């Protein structure tokens, strides 16, 4: 259940909002109609965003596809007596067919030429609708019935709004899934560089057509909903001004964002009604708004809100979560090492053989909690919070050498003469240094997706994202989950994220620098200490080439690679991990 909620949380919250919010306006039918129109234009703009925002093409005749969908649905329901749901689907198909007809010749064009071609198509459709008397001509098409389902007419505005909201969410989900597939990735590649995309074997014409046809289908469906919401349509409802408004919606709301169309629709559709009594002309208001957006939010309001959320809106919640978690009691102990308190958790204290578990960056002892619980009674298991992490004290110097000095001091304070080291990620670098400093103490070493002997250079974007993660638990949570892609999200996951919040704020960037500053290759060369290295093929941080360095340097290295595992086998497959290390340590 938790996994389902985490996977579909955004859609569930959106669905709840679409159900609950209209209830507050149930007696105000005019506002419900405005909300319905916002969602209708959102559907149409979502399709246009596929063409412009994701596929990088220009279309300014999109109102024509709205007209095709609206008039098709009106003709089928009024003149031919076709049920609404069938007319609705046929409207999308009809608009898609016209999209194919326009797309085949037009998508050979680029830039302004494509814009002119779509503009001409939009003007043509408007003039045909104006002169064709069968569909009302310039007077328009009247007496279009309300939408109905299974013979039940949705006469109330609230029922009609719920229908449109349901369709909007379905289209949202379909679009989101399209963008996550090969098709969506191909569209984005074409947008960035058609030449580069073609050189990678992407069929540019095919994916442009898919974007254009999908966009036309969305507009046709939106047109059908528009006709059955207003109950009257005419050629000016789908003219050049509407096409320009749809373009303004995605520019103001945000190109290449799912939420951009919704935000833009609220501004372009709902605001005119809210500001109808203002003396300033609407053209002036929207003109000023466009200038502000282009100057200060060049990628749209949705992108601006996303940045605002990343930088500021999460801060209060993150600070509160950090404070509450810090106040919780943990089942562990403290010991003083070099004048600092170090927190650790221990199991099987009477066992003769001792395993010391060393966590990675943004980690804590809890990353080895599953292993501690599964550890045989013949092994004494100790997992610590290194200084600057979890509940241990902070230290001034941030380096692999300093962390290793405290780990060595920790072993001395506990009187441990012989130890097996098991370390994860950054902890792997610390374990290498401890091995070099105390070779007489370390019997065997097991490393989980470790930093390599030559050091690890972080991508430049890490330094930009790190300060955001420090103040944004949501972003930090996504980062941590990405390191264990095969583990289901549960209570332990949330605890690991909360533990990461306790890390010294400097470490979000300085730990990355510390990993770049060491190189133990020469010192480890020829070291005969038995070493077991784990690597998950789904690891996005450590590569096979990196861990192969251990094989080249240390003759007693055993490398185990798991296809269905990420960066953290210790929490992704704890049973397998515990069995492997106990067998290795017993050998």
What pLDDT does residue 279 have? 74
What local confidence, expressed as pLDDT, does residue 1 receive? 55
d(CA 51, CA 554): 55
What is the side-by-side strand order in the sheet with 557-562? Answer: 333-337, 340-347, 379-384, 353-358, 419-424, 442-448, 531-536, 557-562
* Across 79-87, average pLDDT: 94
For residue 441, pLDDT beyond 60: yes
The first and second tokens of residue 35, run together, are 């909300």
Phi/psi of residue 115, each to 5°?
-60, -45
Distances (CA, A) of 494 to 3, 61, 480, 499: 12, 48, 10, 9
Span 11-47, pLDDT tens digits: 777 788 888 888 888 888 888 999 999 999 999 999 9
Q: How confident is the model at residue 575 (pLDDT cuts 50, 70, 90)?
A: very high
Burial of 41 (0-12, 13-18, 19+ CB in 10 A): buried
Q: Is the separation of the CB atoms in 302 and 260 below 8 Å?
A: yes
**Three-state secondary structure call for residue 255:** coil
- Take residue 127 and report the two structure tokens written for it: 């003039």
Per the DSSP assignment, residues forming a β-bridge with 345 are 383
C-alpha distances (whole Å) from 178 to each of 110, 174, 207, 261 are 24, 6, 12, 17
For residue 362, what is the DSSP state? Answer: T
CB 65 within 8 Å of CB 98 = yes
pLDDT at site 114: 83
Parallel/antiparallel/unpaired status of strands 419-424 and 353-358: parallel
- Mean pLDDT across the stretch 418-427? 97
| CA distances (Å), origin 274, targets 270, 277, 417, 446, 574 | 6, 8, 76, 65, 58
549-577: average pLDDT: 97
The pLDDT confidence band at residue 2, using thresholds 50, 70 and 90, is low
**Given a cut of 70, is residue 3 above it in pLDDT?**
no
- Residues 217, 95: contact at Cβ < 8 Å? yes
Instruction: Note whether 184 and 214 are within 8 A (CB).
Output: no
Residue 374 clears pLDDT 60, i.e. is over it: yes
pLDDT of residue 456: 97
pLDDT above 90 (res 99): yes
- For residues 155-173, give the mean pLDDT: 92
Run of H or E residues at 320: helix 315-326
Look at residue 205 in the predicted model and tell me its pLDDT. 86
- CA dist., res. 103 & res. 365, Å (int): 58
pLDDT at 69: 97
| 324-336 confidence digits (pLDDT tens) | 999 999 889 999 9
**Span 90-114, mean pLDDT?**
87
pLDDT at 166 over 70: yes
Of 426, 424, 422, the closest CA to residue 508 belongs to 426
Q: Which tokens hold the place of 444?
A: 């065997």
| Token pair listed for 80 | 């031919």
Give the rounded percent of residues in the chain with a pLDDT score beyond 90: 74
| Mean pLDDT of the residues in the chain | 92
Q: How many residues does the chain have?
A: 587
Closest CA to 42 of 237, 259, 216: 259
Give CA torsion, residues 569, 570, 576, 577, to 10 deg. Answer: 110
Q: What is the rounded distance in angstroms from the CA atom of residue 576 to the CA atom of residue 582?
A: 10
Please state the rounded mean pLDDT for residues 165-176: 94
The set of residues, in sequence order, having a beta carbon less than 8 Å from that of 418 and lying 6+ positions away, is 353, 354, 441, 443
Angle at 560 between CA 555 and CA 562, to 5 degrees: 160
Contact status, residue 87 vs residue 224, Cβ threshold 8 Å? yes
Residue 4: per-residue pLDDT: 57
Residue with tokens 């730990």: 511
Task: Report the pLDDT value the prediction gives residue 171, as an integer from 0 to 100.
Answer: 95
pLDDT of residue 6: 59
Instruction: Indicate the burial class of 277 (C-beta count within 10 angstroms; 0-12, 13-18, 19 or more).
Output: exposed
Residues 6+ apart with CB under 8 A from 46: 171, 172, 175, 218, 258, 261
**Is residue 530 a contact partner of residue 501, using CB atoms and an 8 Å limit?**
no
pTM for the whole thing?
0.80
Q: What is the pLDDT of residue 358?
A: 98
Strands (E), 482-569: 531-536, 557-562
Query: Hey, what are 313's tokens?
Result: 């809106």
The whole-number average pLDDT for the span 402-425 is 97
Spatial distance between the Cα atoms of 384 and 368, rounded to a whole number of angstroms: 9
Instruction: Tell me how crowded residue 324 is: count the other CB atoms within 10 A of its CB.
Output: 10
Q: What confidence tens digit (pLDDT) does each residue in 471-492 have? A: 999 999 999 999 999 999 999 9
- Which residue did the predictor score with more confidence, 529 or 10? 529
- Tokens describing residue 304: 């601006």
Instruction: Quote the CA–CA distance of 196 and 176 in Å, as a whole number.
Output: 24
Q: Which of 351, 403, 407, 361 is nearest to 381 (CA)?
A: 351
Please tell me the chain's helix, strand, coil percentages from 3-state DSSP, rounded to the nearest 5. Answer: 60, 10, 30
> Alpha-carbon dihedral of residues 398, 404, 406, 409, nearest 10 degrees?
-160
Higher pLDDT, 316 or 586: 316
Which has the closest alpha carbon to 160: 18, 258, 263? 18
pLDDT digits (tens, 9 = 90+) for 259-276: 999 999 999 888 887 777
């Amino acid at each position: 259940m938790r996994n389902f909620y985490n996977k579909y949380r955004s859609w569930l919250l959106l669905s709840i909002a679409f159900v609950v919010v209209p209830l507050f306006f149930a007696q105000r039918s005019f506002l419900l109609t405005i909300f319905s129109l916002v969602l209708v234009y959102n559907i149409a703009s979502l399709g246009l965003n596929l063409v412009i925002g994701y596929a990088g093409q220009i279309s300014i005749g999109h109102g024509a596809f709205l007209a095709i969908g609206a008039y098709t649905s009106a003709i089928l329901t009024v003149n031919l007596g076709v049920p609404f749901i069938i007319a609705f689907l046929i409207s999308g198909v009809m608009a898609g067919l016209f999209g194919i007809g326009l797309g085949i010749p037009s998508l050979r064009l680029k830039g302004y030429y494509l814009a002119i071609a779509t503009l001409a198509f939009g003007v043509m459709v408007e003039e045909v609708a104006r002169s064709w008397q069968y569909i009302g001509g310039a007077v328009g098409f009247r007496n279009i019935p309300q939408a109905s389902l299974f013979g039940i007419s949705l006469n109330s505005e609230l029922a009609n709004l719920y229908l449109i909201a349901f369709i909007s969410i379905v289209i949202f989900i379909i679009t989101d899934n399209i963008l996550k597939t090969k098709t969506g990735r191909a569209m984005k590649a074409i947008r960035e560089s058609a030449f580069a995309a073609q050189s990678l074997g992407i069929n540019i014409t095919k994916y442009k057509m898919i974007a254009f046809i999908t966009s036309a289908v969305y507009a046709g469906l939106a047109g059908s909903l528009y006709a059955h919401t207003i109950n009257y349509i005419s050629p000016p409802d789908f003219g050049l001004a509407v096409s320009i408004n749809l373009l303004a919606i995605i520019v103001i709301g945000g190109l290449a964002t799912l939420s951009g169309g919704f935000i833009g629709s609220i501004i372009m559709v709902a605001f005119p009604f809210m500001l109808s009594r203002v003396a300033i002309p609407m053209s002036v208001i929207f003109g000023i708004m466009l200038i502000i957006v282009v100057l200060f939010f060049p990628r749209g309001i949705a992108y601006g809100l996303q940045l605002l959320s990343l930088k500021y809106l999460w801060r209060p919640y993150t600070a509160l979560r950090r404070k509450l978690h810090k106040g919780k009691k943990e089942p562990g102990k403290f010991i003083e090492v070099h004048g600092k308190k170090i927190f650790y958790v221990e199991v099987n204290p009477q066992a003769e053989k001792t395993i010391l578990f060393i966590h990675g960056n943004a980690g804590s002892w809890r990353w080895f909690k599953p292993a501690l619980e599964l550890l045989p009674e013949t092994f004494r298991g100790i997992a610590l919070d290194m200084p600057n992490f979890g509940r241990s004290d902070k230290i001034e110097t941030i380096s692999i050498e300093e962390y290793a000095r405290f780990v060595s001091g920790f072993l001395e304070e506990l009187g441990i003469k012989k130890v097996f080291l098991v370390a994860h990620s950054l902890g792997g670098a610390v374990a290498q240094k401890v091995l070099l400093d105390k070779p007489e103490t370390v019997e065997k070493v097991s490393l989980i997706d470790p930093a390599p002997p030559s050091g690890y250079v972080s991508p430049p974007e890490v330094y930009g994202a790190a300060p955001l993660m420090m103040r944004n638990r949501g972003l930090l949570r996504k980062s941590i989950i990405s390191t264990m892609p095969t583990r289901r999200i549960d209570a332990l996951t949330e605890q690991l994220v909360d533990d990461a919040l306790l890390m010294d704020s400097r470490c979000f960037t300085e730990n990355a620098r510390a990993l770049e500053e060491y190189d133990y290759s020469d010192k480890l060369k020829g070291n005969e200490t038995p070493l077991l290295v784990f690597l998950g093929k789904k690891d996005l941080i450590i590569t096979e080439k990196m861990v192969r360095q251990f094989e080249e340097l240390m003759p007693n290295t055993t490398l185990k690679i798991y296809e269905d595992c990420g960066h953290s086998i210790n929490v992704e497959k704890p049973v397998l991990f515990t069995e492997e290390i106990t067998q290795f340590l017993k050998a």
